[in-house]
Structure 1
Amino acid sequence: MASQVAEKPEKCQCDTHHAKSILYEILNKEHRNETTWHQQYFRPYCSIGNSGCSCVDSRRVVLKTPEITCRRASEVLLKTSAFIRNLPSFYHMPWEDQVALIQQNWAPLFVLGLAQEGVDFELREISAPSLLKKILLNQSSTASDELGSSSLGASLAEGQKLKNLLWKLWDLDVSAKEYAYLKGIILFNSGQHVLKCFPYVQTLQQEAQQALMEFISMMFNRHLSRFAWILQLLTSLRDIDAYVIEELFFRSILGEVTLNELLLKILYIKPDCL
């Protein structure tokens, strides 16, 4: 499933100043110490260009094979909605709470679905023409607006973060039952929302977490360090930018509709709450 975007290494402008300073060496040494633990358990992850540089945030990527990947992503979205629909405990909550949980947690649920279905993908970096080039080519403002709205793709840094997270889940070889418990922990995460039935949601999340711990303890001979690694990945899951998922996998399908709106309609949640 490993896939990387091959590209000629580039010298980043951020590396041109003080690359060998004492402060740089100290921070770099500390960074290597912090990553030692991860290297013991996870293989090297994919990278595109100079991922350690802040200018990665301004670089944009799109899917290399959108026809194939978007179709698989749509299948994952349908399976994610089916998982939610088959949970009676979810529909026992007030519809306001259902909406809040879907809006906050659909992105990490979707990423778990990508991992469970083994959906790997390659990214292709794109470049936006500079303002000077637009002026020299006498591009109209309309053409520029269209370029800005439809061709800029997603952040390279966020795309790499998503791919690396998928590889971490695959490296752990998460089982179907573990995925189910993880989805329960994610779905019943209230976050910053004030829910009408907060104690009920909190209890459901605790039950899912307890079930996951007991399953790991039973299947892995009380190897609870695995439980700690998985919980750490849950934190990373919640950091995935929902906008990046929409841009990479669904923008050509959704148009101006948001994935929030689509999911709420699929799940038959009361429409006047949108």
Structure 2
Amino acid sequence: MASLEGCRCRGSSGRNNSSILYSILKSDSFGSTEEQQQQQQHPQEQQQTLQHLLHKTSSSSSSLSSSTTAASSGPASLQELRQQACSCGSARRRGVLRSPQVTCKAASAVLVKTLRFVKNVPCFRELPEDDQLVLIRSGWAPLLVLGLAQDRVDFETTETVEPSMLQRILTGLPERQSEPPAGQGRAAAGVSVVDIEAIRAFLKKCWSVDISTKEYAYLKGAVLFNPDLEGLRCLHYIQSLRREAHQALNEHIRLIHREDTTRFAKLLIALSMLRAISPPVVAQLFFRPVIGSVNIEEVLMEMFYGK
């Protein structure tokens, strides 16, 4: 049973595993049904809503965008350090979407559906708002990529090559041409091919396993309730929610896929692949070509809380 030790979340009494995870399943089912109805009745409504929010937030996001760009300009992983240190051209390979308008529109629809799913999970809304913000900021990108897998949204990219240091010297290019001025983002430079292939590998993994709707719902619960984040007030409760999501997923697999003894391990591997995908990469690949320097977190807060 989920415990609310150390926090003041509402509705904690009398709650059990089935009710908590049923709310996740119900939320996912509700979101899918509502999404289908909206697509049939108003195919342009979601994109217009997102474009309105982007336009509304663009004028107030320049300072936050600059700080985000400055924070992301440094190497975020050992892999990136190796890429910067390597002088060969292959380490500088980057990619951009081949059809950004089409792909970004599909990603925007998945983002709307993802936020609706989160909004309709009662045990999430019972958390303090500070915890909700932490979980949304950390979880929106992996939840989005998981939604892309569930909706089987594929994409194509084309490669660009970042000039090497020697090429910059010989051609007289600025030393840091790959880093555009503050506020412009790095859409023109694209995303590392390594990061793109990581997203593709996760999508292919999900499609090869042929994950069911219920399994996607349990995976979303495991991704959303991430206790490994700093600043959470209801840490123990969130830990219990993730544990219950894993347990429910395992029980479902043992009931439906008795002959497949490795299926649960395969889905855990998929989760580990998903957690390795960083939100800045997702924002830059799927949204920056269209929204430019608008801060994606402001858009998320506007869509979720109407602020």
| Same-fold call, TM cutoff 0.5 | yes
1:70 aligns with 2:70: no
**Match of 1:4?**
none
CA RMSD of superposed structures (Å): 2.7
1:87 corresponds to which letter in structure 2?
V
Relative to 1, partners in 2 of residues 1:99 and 1:60: Cα closer, same or farther, differing over 3 Å? same
Amino acid in the other structure paired with 1:92: E
Aligned to 1:228: 265
User: After superposition, what is the alpha-carbon deviation per residue over 1:41-97, rounded to whole angstroms, capped at 9, x for unaligned?
Assistant: xxxxxxxxxxxxx86442110011112111111111111111101111111111110
Using the alignment, how far apart are the partners of 2:126 and 2:185 within structure 1?
A: 43
Structure 1 residues 216 and 265 mapped into 2: Cα distance closer, same or farther (>3 Å)? same
Higher RCO structure, 1 or 2 (CA under 8 Å, sep 6+): 2
| C-alpha spacing 1:243/1:57, structure 2 compared with 1 (3 Å) | farther
Q: Aligned to 1:195, what secondary structure does the other structure show?
A: coil
Report Cα offsets for 1:9-43 as digits up to 9, x if no partner.
xxxxxxxxxxxxxxxxxxxxxxxxxxxxxxxxxxx
Calculate the TM-score normalised by the size of structure 2.
0.64
Shift in Å at residue 241 of structure 1?
Answer: 1.9
Which of 165, 182, 185 is 2:219 aligned to? 182
For 1:206, the equivalent position in structure 2 comes to 243
Deviations 1:184-210 (A, max 9, x none): 000001213231111111111111111
Aligned length: 215
Q: Map residues 28-47 of structure 1 onto 2, 5 A cutoff.
A: none
State the match for 2:52 in structure 1. Answer: none
Partner of residue 135 from structure 1, selected from 134, 158, 172: 172
Identify if the C-alpha distance between structure 1 residues 143 and 80 changes in structure 2 by more than 3 Å, giving closer, same or farther. closer
Q: Which amino acid aligns with 2:139?
A: N
> Identity over aligned residues, as a percent?
41
Tell me the residue number matched to 2:284: 247
Contact 1:213–1:224 (CA under 8 A) maintained in structure 2: no
Aligned residue number for residue 219 of structure 1:
256
The match for 2:126 among 84, 92, 99 is 92
Partner of 2:144: 110
CA deviation profile, 1:214-237 (whole Å, cap 9, x unmatched): 111111016342001101111111
**3-state SS of paired residue (1:70):** helix
Structure 2 residues without counterparts, runs of 5 or longer: 1-87
Q: Runs of 5+ in structure 1 lacking a partner?
A: 1-53
Partners of 2:93 and 2:162 within 8 A in 1:
no
